[in-house]
Chain A
Amino acid sequence: MVGALALSLAACGSDPGAADPAGEGSESGTGLSGELNGGGASSQESAMEAWRAGFQSANPDVTVNYDPVGSGGGRESFISGAYPFAGSDAALEDDELADAEAQCGEGGVIQYPAYISPVAVAFNLEGVDTLNMPAETIAGIFAGEITAWDDEAIAADNPDAELPSTDITVVHRSEDSGTTENFQEYLHTVVPDVWTWEAEGIWPIKGQESAQGTSGVVSAAQAGEGTITYADASQIDDLGTVAVGVGDDFVEYSPEAAAAVVEDSPRVEGTSESVFAYDLQRDIAGTYPIVLVSYHLACGTYEDAATADLVKGLYTYILSDEGQAKAAESAGSAPLPTSLTEQFLPAVEAITAG
């Protein structure tokens, strides 16, 4: 065993010129081995599960662990250097980025959106499968200002729907959650006068129903008549969904429409070449504006050659067509458009030991 390990390490060392470009991880014999421990956002846990499985089956000697400690914990441990890679539902803040740059050294920080998933606004209303709602209506409902399903505000955009006078029961996530933060960010950006709360992981309004986790809110919504909630679109089961108003149109959620928001939004200026963050535009026609964007973090250089190779291998696999397809299949996330992965890959491939 020791001999084999030494041999594979030697193979790595004698071949510094990146013999394995562009996500050909599926061809066995890349020579990667060892253990890689990271963690962070729990939203991308099921996608990460698929990536780990795919990456490990392509590289049988590799073990990747992802601890879903939450975005905050992931960022903290990445900045302190405890995690060589991490996932986070929010891009690094300026001061966090500075700390992370200091920790990573001259190679700098690599950050890119790896997991994009539409967040559906889902409801349980007998005989109604879909409703049109602009952002003002959605915000009004979740803020508790619109309290019945046959309210004028809802009926105006849905002339054909038969709306009962049932009370609206809002169900939100009870724990600190990236889905809550992204959903609020959408509401606060688009209709700040109705949704006056700043985006936060914890729901700001007291006295409404809540449940733990995506499966929790979905089953709570299914259990009561007249409920409405927001949840990862891949897990909403048979609940009715809201077509969200974008400009003059109403857009149903779809992975493609969700990925298009990130693709068409401008990149945040002033950050380094390898740090990708986007100023999401919520009014681009034909795109679905409520998205959960979860980022991956890595350093440009690692002290340890084995770690550098593993992170590079893992991230290259994640950005490959195969990796994106795997995540879409198992987590229902939106596959990243090639126009984006083409931008991210050079940064990932430049990861070195040093």
Chain B
Amino acid sequence: MTTTDSPPAPVAPVRRRRSSGDTERGFSRTFRWIATGAGALILATLAAVALFLIVRAWPAMTASSEALAEAVPRYPDDTSFIAYVGPLIFGTLLAAVLALLIATPVAMGVALFISHYAPRRLAQALGYLVDLLAAIPSVVYGLWGFTVLAPVLAPLWTWLNNWFGWFPLFAGDVSPTARTMATVAVVLAVMILPIITAVSREVFLQTPKLHEEAALALGATRWEMVRTAVLPFGQSGVISAAMLGLGRALGETMAVLMILSPGFLYSFKILQAAQQQTIAAYIALDFPEASGLAVNALIATGLALFVITLAVNMAARAIVARRKEFSGAN
């Protein structure tokens, strides 16, 4: 019976479309409103956050540097607001970029292993395990970072400093407690690993089977097949995965707050203590005792973070969108 009923169905949508939703009734109409509302709510929330940040940050951004130095405990004397936020933006970007440099190659390896090398059962289990990493709260990463990881990494950092101290990143006096940007970057890398792996894996799995088989038929080894067919196909997907990871690393607060021994410098010395600080950790650290203009100043740094994160996510979106055009040709 169902087969005989179905032919008229294609006709119905066409008519509906023409009459511009007039025939939608009952729950269909309600659901349309719910879905539209949900979509609008996102925009409204984003607008509300942006408005809040701008309104509350405004007094700090327009205040004189004397007034700010008076009110904000860590405000450097005789500098503009930019000079105050600058090192924080620098620290935030440094932490996120370092984490990305560590995490992306590892995540690509894991993703390739899952999609092209592992036996089916192992691949599934491994996929779950990697996703599980994302479920661990960041406060636990923080605890793990400073109680377990930092003491383990300290000798490695000392070694790097001894032998590669000429390289700007590893210069300076190495910290004996290892509560430095280098340790933070490792922890952040672990935290952003799941999202980069998950997205890369999906992209690699979408590689057209024909491409892969063609490569193999031409006598390519497994690695050559990955290099010539999978990686070019997945390239922009991996980039957008990395951008998503970057977004998470930029906003990470708790783990940084617990591990990093903060400083306010434009410094690349990631093995030395008291050099950099990230915006999110700075706000969390100083907000409890802040009042008056100091709160506005903290919110202004939050606005800077908001703008950076928004830009990163928009860039990721743009790359994903470009990729769609290419994959359509496949």
A residues near B, CB below 8 A?
42, 69-73, 76, 167, 169, 171, 174-176, 200-202, 206-212, 216, 219-221, 223-227
Contact = CB atoms under 8 A, between A and B. Distances in A.
B310 to A, nearest CB: 28
B177 A220 contact: yes
Contacts of B286: 175-176
19 contacts: A69-B288, A70-B289, A73-B288, A169-B177, A171-B261, A174-B262, A175-B288, A201-B289, A206-B263, A209-B175, A210-B261, A210-B273, A211-B179, A212-B257, A220-B146, A220-B177, A223-B150, A223-B178, A224-B177
A351 to B, nearest CB: 28
B257 A210 contact: no
B291 A72 contact: yes
B261 A176 contact: no
Nearest to B262: A174
Interface residues of B, number: 25
A225 B175 CA distance: 10
Given A206-B263, A211-B261, A212-B285, 10 more contacts: A70-B288, A73-B289, A76-B291, A167-B176, A169-B177, A171-B177, A176-B286, A216-B146, A220-B177, A225-B176
A207 B147 CA distance: 22
Interface in B121-171: 146-147, 150-151, 154
Contacts of B154: 223-224
Contacts of A174: 261-262, 285
B176 A169 contact: yes
A225 B177 CA distance: 8
A202 B258 contact: no
Contacts of B222: none
A45 to B, nearest CB: 12
Q: Interface of chain B, helix or strand or loop or mixed?
A: loop
B288 A227 contact: no
Contacts of B289: 70-73, 175-176, 201
B73 interface: yes
B73 A220 contact: no
B161 to A, nearest CB: 14
B266 interface: no
9 nearest A-B residue pairs (beta carbon): A224-B176, A224-B177, A176-B289, A209-B273, A70-B289, A223-B177, A209-B261, A202-B73, A175-B285
B74 interface: yes
B288 A209 contact: no
Nearest to B274: A207
Interface in B256-295: 257-258, 261-264, 273-274, 285-286, 288-289, 291
A272 B273 CA distance: 47
Contacts of B257: 212
A223 B273 contact: no
A175 B261 CA distance: 11
B177 A208 contact: no
A71 B288 CA distance: 10
Contact of A226 (B146, B176, B291): B176
Q: Which one of B146, B285, B289 has the greatest number of beta carbons of chain A within 10 Å?
A: B289
A220 B179 contact: yes
A340 to B, nearest CB: 28
A42 to B, nearest CB: 8
Given A70-B288, A76-B291, A212-B285, A223 B263 contact: no
Q: Which one of A72, A209, A219 has the greatest number of beta carbons of chain B within 10 Å?
A: A209
Nearest to A201: B289
A202 B176 contact: no
A220 B147 CA distance: 8
A216 B147 CA distance: 10
A69 B291 CA distance: 11
A220 B274 CA distance: 13
A354 to B, nearest CB: 31
A307 B59 CA distance: 37
Contacts of A210: 261-262, 273-274
Nearest to A208: B274
Contacts of B273: 207-210
B261 A223 contact: no
Contact of A202 (B74, B146, B178): B74
Contacts of A219: 146-147
Contact of A176 (B73, B146, B147, B258): B73
A210 B285 CA distance: 12
B274 A227 contact: no
Q: Which one of A70, A176, A216 has the greatest number of beta carbons of chain B within 10 Å?
A: A176
A176 B288 contact: yes
Interface string B64-85: 0000000001100000000000
A207 B176 contact: no
Given A69-B288, A219-B146, A224 B262 contact: no
Nearest to B147: A219
A226 B176 CA distance: 8
B291 A73 contact: yes
Contacts of A176: 73, 286, 288-289
Contacts of A70: 288-289
Contacts of B179: 209, 211, 220, 223
Nearest to A175: B285
A119 to B, nearest CB: 18
A90 to B, nearest CB: 12
Q: Which one of B73, B150, B177, B285 has the greatest number of beta carbons of chain A within 10 Å?
A: B177
Contacts of B274: 206-210
A201 B294 CA distance: 15
Interface string B208-245: 00000000000000000000000000000000000000
Q: Which one of B73, B150, B273 has the greatest number of beta carbons of chain A within 10 Å?
A: B273
Contacts of B258: 212, 216
A200 B154 CA distance: 32
Nearest to B178: A223
Contacts of A169: 175-177
